[in-house]
Amino acid sequence: MRWTLSDIDRKRLTTVHGAEPMRNSCHVFLFVFAVVTYSGAQESTSNPVLHPFTVIRAGAVIDGKSDSVRRNQVIIIRGNRIESISDAGAANVPAGSDVIDLSHATVLPGLIDSHTHIFLQGEDPAQGGYDVNILKYPLALRAARATVSVRRALEQGFTTLRDLETEGAGYGDIGIKQAIEGGYIPGPRLFVSTRAISTTGGYPLEGYAPELDMPTGAQLIDGPVEARKAAREQLSHGADWIKVYMTHRSWVGKSGELVSQPTLTVEELKAIVDETHGWGKKVACHAYGGIGLHRALDGGCDSIEHGLDLDDAAIAQMLKQGTWYCPTISAYYHDWAPADTPEGQRDRKRASVHEVSFPKALHAGVKIVFGTDIGGISWSEPIAQEFPHMVNLGMPPMDAIKSATSLAAEMLDMQGQIGVIAPGAWADIVAVNGDPLADIKVLQNVQFVMKDGKVFKNEIK
């Protein structure tokens, strides 16, 4: 049987998430399929069809929503949903259940990284930097590497990613998402934003002869009509979010301040936000500070990405509009240029203003979600390195965990479905040895991962 893309989309919308692996061998998947070896996600200790109940005995549970830790709990999972959570003494364990013993571990909801790039690989200048991705790599190679990226995320307990643009790989994120949902490759639940939008002069590739018509890492628009059209194209191809670059280059100004080049006008952004909200979707805005940041807020963006330099007016407007803040702190401690160069001074300035903005936003009560910009950072590094940055800048460990669970779920309009251990939620569950509230770094060593009711990894001793 041959399926069209819209058939697959309709079928995906009307079937239980991931319940029928290996169906619909469609031509759309071939470029990914050729390079994939898939072994992990289907080697489950519990087959929901044969054994509808799985039981987790948990030594401690941080449920992602409440402020208290519950000891000696029993979580009962039916198929891919959590059925109940209760004290071990009061639990009514169904006969014949698969039992997973995590009684010496801390159990949490699957983690959510709200800012990733599965199509970037750290961009080592010695390996050709950013440009080589677009100039030399076949899309199949980039898809193969993205397949490894999503597996890396799942291995580390990140069962959901909001992936914020493919950096010249077009709609490849839609394909990777379909491959995960179809059961071809293991990976997190993906919320994808496809190509991203910026303006002429607002995104690489740059620095080539002006006579050359170079490809770019984002879709460039000029004017509200083109802006709306780009959003329509991306949404019609399946974008879950729209990503917009509201600032581009940054440098240290004459008074020692961080300056960021603004890109879209308020009118251009408003056209995108209006269109996207009409589809019931949201807009994520990359914005460092200054004019571009204020245009992002005036244009009605739903989340500010990075937000390095938040002034008091911006914080007040974010509170008023309910704007999310995804700070991605880790990314600004990597690959600093030498201190005596303009780039090196900019790199240090970016980190130092961020260290002021984050605590200010935190104490003002801005809604903060965990995000790393990983992909910009190599996927060989731990994603959870962001947690200690947040805690060191004043966020209590429990709030840092909520920023990567229930709060991110709220931003993604998935409250109660993901980011929480509670009846009715999807069975996305992770566990660590140790207490992340005493040492947040233990989250860099997730040893048990269940996604959608299936055990992907269990190294708990």
Q: Which of 232-240, 276-284, 343-351, 367-375 is the region at the interface with Zn ion (rule: CB under 5 A)?
A: 367-375
DSSP 381-448: S-GGGHHHHHHHTT--HHHHHHHTTHHHHHHTT-TTTSSS-STTSB--EEEESS-TTT-GGGGGS--E
CB 117, min distance to Zn ion, A: 6
**Residue 373 engages Zn ion in binding (rule: CB under 5 A):** yes
Q: Compute how many residues bind Zn ion; rule: CB under 5 A.
A: 1
Q: What is the number of other CB atoms lying within 10 angstroms of the CB of residue 96?
A: 9
Residue with smallest beta-carbon separation from Zn ion: 373
CB 264, min distance to Zn ion, A: 17
List the alpha helices (DSSP H) in 108-158. 131-135, 139-155
Q: Which of 9-17, 106-114, 372-380, 415-423 is the region at the interface with Zn ion (rule: CB under 5 A)?
A: 372-380
The smaller minimum CB distance to Zn ion, of residues 123 and 373, is found at 373
The smaller minimum CB distance to Zn ion, of residues 263 and 417, is found at 263
Residue 74 in tokens = 């029993």
CB 167, min distance to Zn ion, A: 9
CB 120, min distance to Zn ion, A: 8
Distance between CA atoms of 1 and 7, rounded to whole angstroms? 11
**Residue 114: which residues within 8 A CB-CB, separation 6 or more?**
161, 162, 303, 326, 369, 370, 371, 408, 411, 412
CB 385, min distance to Zn ion, A: 16
Q: Which of 120-128, 166-174, 353-361, 368-376 is the region at the interface with Zn ion (rule: CB under 5 A)?
A: 368-376
Contact mark string toward Zn ion, 124..163, x via CB under 5 A: ----------------------------------------
Restricting to residues 38-57, which ones interact with Zn ion according to CB under 5 A? none
Contact mark string toward Zn ion, 3..22, x via CB under 5 A: --------------------
CB 376, min distance to Zn ion, A: 6
**Residue 234: which residues within 8 A CB-CB, separation 6 or more?**
193, 194, 195, 197, 219, 242
At 136, phi and psi to the nearest 5?
-125, -25
**Residue 170: which residues within 8 A CB-CB, separation 6 or more?**
139, 194, 195
Give me the residues that bind Zn ion (CB under 5 A), please: 373
